[in-house]
Amino acid sequence: MASSIIAPKNPESPGVPHLDDYAAIVGQPEIHDLRELASRVGRRRIKMINSTAVGGGVAELLSRVVPLIEEMGVPIRWEVLKGGENFFAVTKGFHNALHGAPFESRPEWFELFLRVTAENRKLIAADDDFIVIHDPQPVALVETRKGLTNKWIWRCHIDLSRPNTEVWNFLRPFIEKYDATLFSSPSFTQGLGIPQYLFFPTIDPLADKNRELEPDFIQGVLERFGIDPKRPILTQISRFDRLKDPVGVIQAYRRVKKYFDCQLVLAGGGATDDPEGEIVRLEAQEAAGTDPDLHILDLPPWSHLEINALQRASTIIIQKSLREGFGLTVAEALWKKKPVVASAVGGIPSQVIHKVTGMLVHSVEGTAYQIRFLLSNPDFSLKLGENGHEHIKGNFLVTHNIKRYLLLFLILQRT
């Protein structure tokens, strides 16, 4: 078993993408539409607020969306909630509870949440025309809007299909003070008295995590981690989080290993607002034992090229989440034309259409079965990858995300 942090010599970056760079992928008419929508939004100011600047899908999305909207002449800023280790331990508990995990409440947790929020209200100006709050951590900042006529939007990136009642009832009064909510799947919507919109996360095809790579660089990454390119490579890219079920992935791999001489790569890292990551990584290492074909890679947040290389080198990509807001790693894999075996949870079925763009599963046994099927049927695997690429191209690229935001701002400014 290998566990590493790497700092390789990376290929030269093509630079920060500009909007016109996407024309070759989505077409010039789409770029024209975006510029037209941006001109209608005009100089109305936008602010995005989340809980971490690096690590996790939300930070990745904002790092691409914000510069592109700004390039079109719309004033936009991105600010990050400030909180200490105890605060993020509480919000991680809330996060797990909203996904349906067991939750033992303590009054001081709710008090800490409100106290840190109050401190941030003094630090973060909230007089922009549109305020977009991402996920539960900063949700109570909406209290700042008293007396303001600007529009507040709560963007929920997590699976709310079966939230813990106590945590949801605590957060709900804040959410109902917003002008709109955005969810990644129809199953996440709640009985709220405000508009709810379906809003898919997206990937950036020109980002280091998704752009084309030279074969020599991919080969070099495999060599550094001791991964054999001549044997099947099964890979799951995820934060070390119990909801991503890394131990379950290991169990599925061991079932497949009885029939195929394959390797497993579990590659991930942590985020500043997730204090459980190191514990879960150690749990995965214990489950892995001394298997030399099982590679647990603890990657820093800036390892986008390495993640890209691992996905491109893989035979099959796995995403065995127990609960999942959307699962951008699935979109990344499909964009790279890789066959995907993923859990039928959260927003994943929006991306993986069973037996068309990938294979959906419900258990360790099902995961192992579908991996074995794909390894036995390479032509079918190739077709899944081709279909998956077209599905992502048509629905889940960053330009689609920007268009939805601009349309939403135009709708809200008329209400």
Read off the pLDDT of residues 143-155 as tens digits, 9 standing for 90 and up.
988 878 899 999 9
Query: Would you state the structure tokens that stand for residue 302, as one six-digit string?
Result: 């800036």
* Alpha carbons 294 and 286: distance in angstroms, whole number: 12
Contact 152, 142 (CB under 8 A): yes
Query: Would you state the structure tokens that stand for residue 148, as one six-digit string?
Result: 């303001």
Read off the pLDDT of residues 229-262 as tens digits, 9 standing for 90 and up.
999 999 999 989 999 999 999 999 999 999 999 9
The pTM for the full model equals 0.88
Q: Which three-class secondary structure string do you get for 294-359?
A: EEEEECCCCCHHHHHHHHHHCCEEEECCCCCCCCHHHHHHHHCCCCEEEECCCCHHHHCCECCCEE
Say what the pLDDT of residue 9 is. Answer: 56
What order of strands is seen across the sheet that includes strand 340-343? 294-298, 263-268, 233-237, 316-319, 340-343, 359-361
Contact 398, 64 (CB under 8 A): yes
Contact 73, 39 (CB under 8 A): yes
Contact 376, 358 (CB under 8 A): no
Read off the pLDDT of residues 297-333 as tens digits, 9 standing for 90 and up.
999 888 999 999 999 999 999 999 998 989 899 999 9
Place of tokens 């070390």: 240
Domains and CATH numbers, the chain: 4-202+397-413 (3.40.50.2000), 215-395 (3.40.50.2000)
Say what the pLDDT of residue 13 is. Answer: 64
Say what the pLDDT of residue 4 is. Answer: 41
- Report the alpha-carbon angle 333-93-47, nearest 5: 65
